[in-house]
Structure 1
Amino acid sequence: MSHSSSTILTESGTNELEIIEFHLVKHLPDGSTKTCYYGINVAKVREVIQVPETTDYPNAQPHMIGVFSSRDILTPLLDLGGWLGVPTSKELDRKFVIVTDFNRMTNGFLIDSISRIHRISWNDVESPSQFLEAGEQDCVVAVVRKDGNLIMILDFEKIIADINPELSMEKYDVKGDRTVDLNQQMVTKRNAKTIIVVDDSAFIRSLIQDTLTSAGYNVIACKDGGEGHDKLMEIAEYAKAEGLPVHELVNAVVTDVEMPRMDGMHLLKRLRESDAYQTTPIVMFSSLMSDDNRSKALTLGANDTITKPEIGKLVSMMDKYVFN
């Protein structure tokens, strides 16, 4: 079951996406079971396969079952249920593996069953409530209601960073980056500039915010495309009422692509259609930024794009568009 040729709806600005629904069967203390419903964007999935033969990897991280070869790429197989704290059957013969391909990494996630693909609007994708959203450690970025079930869209970037900390963007520290100008004059210049950051992952949002504020920028963070659009429109209305150009209040926008309520491409399209933000620097910061997706983002009006592992490029890119 390969999805490599599937249309990636989110990049066209239509505010739609396709998700794969999959299940983990939770084993309860009384011997009964309960089906847990999860989802992942089709654009992140290379294929769904039966459990392959794996090789043990020395000194492996917890919940790493082993490694296998996926199209000649050495790929870790991760016990998703174990990481989530969902006890499942240990028998592998009836399970499946979702092989993901994003952030320039390939990973396999062990699941109990695959259901089907749903084509939905981001308007129907809900952000977790404040009660559910546990900050940076939360692993659910969105919820979809389908056929009477709640499908949890997981933060796979967070999961991979937790299991493979050496590959995590958390290792980046702008204060140790010699390519970034951190002299007091430049930091003071950045102190006068404000960047809107829009990302549904609390984990990623915090990393972007910390990186930009460490370099001197002011940051206003929004947890999804809908909140980002509302905030930007609110600022535009305030600027208009005060007789100010909007660039005195917002100097740039950094946005993810896949987000609840409104995806990043649709947000970009809406901003470029508004009078206030036609020339505001907008950078797309996504794990799905292939060459084709970059081309679509630029066509919709983005100034630039970054793939999520490349957070080290962010401050210099902001400097380029904010000050030039």
Structure 2
Amino acid sequence: MSAVTEDKQKILLESGTNELEIIEFQLRKELPGGGEKISHYGINVAKVREVIRVPETTDYPNPQPHLVGVFSLRDNLIPLVDLAGWLGIRTKGEYERKNVIVTDFNRMANGFLVDGVSRIHRISWAEVESPSQFLESGEQDCVVAVVRREDRLIMILDFEKIISDINPELSMEKYDVTEDRKVLIDDRMTAKRQAKTLLVVDDSAFIRKLIETTLRTSGYNVIAAKDGLDAWEILTEFEHVAEDENLPVSDLVSMIITDVEMPRMDGMHLVKRLRASKTYSTIPIMMFSSIMSDDNRQKAMDLGANDTMTKPEIGKLVGKTDEFLL
């Protein structure tokens, strides 16, 4: 399995079909007695550029923890991350048997060292379960979803969180809306924003908290949903309340900001269903995703999104929201 084709990278966004493809890979945990235990993980094909053998790496001075080094691939310098090390899993250091998953999202390329890559699964997001089915909420927020397969569970990891932890300089956590001179935060603007309620939809607790904090600090009211189905149920309830109280639904929710990759129902399918609903056919929808290429942006707009942003652009989020609502 070398290069991941462009067709495969587009699977997630095929007209809101609520389908995706994941690459299943393994980490082999070394046990005290000398044996090993294989754990199964997954990553969305849309985030993967290719899978390669372990390349020659160059040590980087004063490296971040779990950074193996850097390597050159097609004229790009790419950091190589020891994924097992970051997860706290002890594995054998037989590099010649390992693989590297080269990712490309949030306008960054990274390599992740893994023990093996087995196959690609094409599945519906409806088959992808929230980790809260298995774990207490918040205890293991590096796992954003779980897929059941025959005799095993495949854990879908939060790669945005992993990268931000390894390289904090690239993290959205560094953004502080109160220090952004382009965002006006005074009594008048705060009051105007406080009259608006936003629904933020993201399966990553890490990303969801960053978006919520940014919007709330600027003055907006924020409601959060952990995936597309959760959001759909919240919005359906809003529709009933609006009907019962003879209110426009915009009094309850002014705008929706949604991720794309989410268990149970992805963001594209959520947008498709909302635009098919008379109640939500015109509400502003912003898609905020790590895989928002030009092609994917066009697919999102064709489905009815009003605008799109990539996740490193959190500094533009309040300004874009102001444009739609104020």
Residue equivalent to 1:72 = 75
Q: Does residue 312 in structure 1 map to residue 286 in structure 2?
A: no
Q: TM-score, normalised by structure 1?
A: 0.98
Q: Does residue 218 in structure 1 map to residue 221 in structure 2?
A: yes
1:45 to 15, 27, 48: 48
Q: Runs of 5+ in structure 1 lacking a partner?
A: none
Question: 1:70-120: CA deviations, max 9, x gaps?
Answer: 221110000000000111111101100000000000000000000100000
Q: Runs of 5+ in structure 2 lacking a partner?
A: none
Question: 1:245-279: CA deviations, max 9, x gaps?
Answer: 10111000000001000000000000011111111
Separation in structure 2 between the aligned mates of residue 10 and residue 58 of structure 1, nearest angstrom: 38
Residue equivalent to 2:12 = 10
Residue equivalent to 1:115 = 118
Q: Does residue 58 in structure 1 map to residue 57 in structure 2?
A: no
State the shift of 1:130 in Å: 6.4
Contact 1:136 1:206 in 2 (8 A): no
Q: CA RMSD in A?
A: 1.1
The amino acid of 1:19's aligned partner reads I
The alignment partner of 1:93 has SS state of: helix
| Deviation beyond 3 Å, 4+ runs, structure 1 | none
Identity %: 67
Separation in structure 2 between the aligned mates of residue 113 and residue 267 of structure 1, nearest angstrom: 34
Separation in structure 1 between the aligned mates of residue 256 and residue 139 of structure 2, nearest angstrom: 21
Residue equivalent to 1:85 = 88
2:138 to 135, 147, 152: 135
The alignment partner of 1:178 has SS state of: coil
Q: TM-score, normalised by structure 2?
A: 0.97
1:105 to 105, 108, 118: 108
The alignment partner of 2:256 has SS state of: strand
Question: 1:296-315: CA deviations, max 9, x gaps?
Answer: 00000000000000000000
Separation in structure 2 between the aligned mates of residue 84 and residue 238 of structure 1, nearest angstrom: 44
Separation in structure 2 between the aligned mates of residue 228 and residue 129 of structure 1, nearest angstrom: 16
Residue equivalent to 2:35 = 32
1:188 to 186, 191, 216: 191
After superposition, the Cα gap between the structure-2 partners of 1:179 and 1:136, relative to the gap in structure 1 and judged at 3 Å, is farther
The amino acid of 1:2's aligned partner reads A
Separation in structure 1 between the aligned mates of residue 192 and residue 234 of structure 2, nearest angstrom: 24
Q: Does residue 151 in structure 1 map to residue 158 in structure 2?
A: no
Question: 1:137-179: CA deviations, max 9, x gaps?
Answer: 6100000001221000000000000000000000000000000
State the shift of 1:133 in Å: 4.9
State the shift of 1:4 in Å: 3.6
After superposition, the Cα gap between the structure-2 partners of 1:136 and 1:280, relative to the gap in structure 1 and judged at 3 Å, is farther
Separation in structure 2 between the aligned mates of residue 265 and residue 229 of structure 1, nearest angstrom: 12
The alignment partner of 2:132 has SS state of: coil
Separation in structure 2 between the aligned mates of residue 181 and residue 279 of structure 1, nearest angstrom: 27
The amino acid of 2:69's aligned partner reads G
Separation in structure 1 between the aligned mates of residue 5 and residue 322 of structure 2, nearest angstrom: 36
State the shift of 1:29 in Å: 1.2
The amino acid of 1:226's aligned partner reads L
The alignment partner of 2:131 has SS state of: coil
Separation in structure 2 between the aligned mates of residue 130 and residue 167 of structure 1, nearest angstrom: 31
The alignment partner of 1:266 has SS state of: helix
State the shift of 1:135 in Å: 2.6
Question: 1:13-35: CA deviations, max 9, x gaps?
Answer: 00000000000011111211111
The alignment partner of 2:212 has SS state of: helix
State the shift of 1:136 in Å: 8.4
Residue equivalent to 1:230 = 233
